[in-house]
Amino acid sequence: MKKLKSAKKITLATYKRFALRHQNELYVKNLSSFNGMIDMVDKVDNPRWQKTKLSEDSRREDEFVKGAWTVGSSRDSFSLYEDDEYVGIEIYNCCGSDIVAIKK
């Protein structure tokens, strides 16, 4: 497995390149999401890893990977993610926080 290189700054392009390179082995974990009842981002109870894939419409920027949301216009924050089992990219924005990763 190829390790993620630590870039100066992870961008939407870095995230898309990672997802395209590993499109058949992607997992997503939703840590928080927007809750309209309280009009703010709320933690997800029992976040779990789920197998995922790229959106059918690869031109979509808001949901390039199914289950992981981006907002674009430099309003997303990306960081490297790694634990004992997964390595990938964490996404944080006004819609919530998600991790897109592959198994080590």
In this predicted model, what pLDDT tens digit does every residue of 13-25 receive, in sequence order? Answer: 999 999 999 999 9
**Mean of all residue pLDDT scores within the chain:** 88
- What's the average model confidence in pLDDT over 87-99? 94
The pLDDT assigned to 62 comes to 79
- What's the average model confidence in pLDDT over 55-66? 79
Rounded distance between C-alpha atoms, residue 13 and residue 2, angstroms: 18
Say if CB 20 and CB 89 are below 8 A apart: no
- What's the average model confidence in pLDDT over 43-47? 90
Tokens of 87: 């390595």
Residue 72 pLDDT > 70? yes
Residue 88 pLDDT > 60? yes
- pTM, to two decimals: 0.85
The pLDDT assigned to 75 comes to 87
Q: For residue 18, what is the enclosing H or E element?
A: helix 12-21
Q: Are strands 86-93 and 77-82 parallel, antiparallel or unpaired?
A: antiparallel
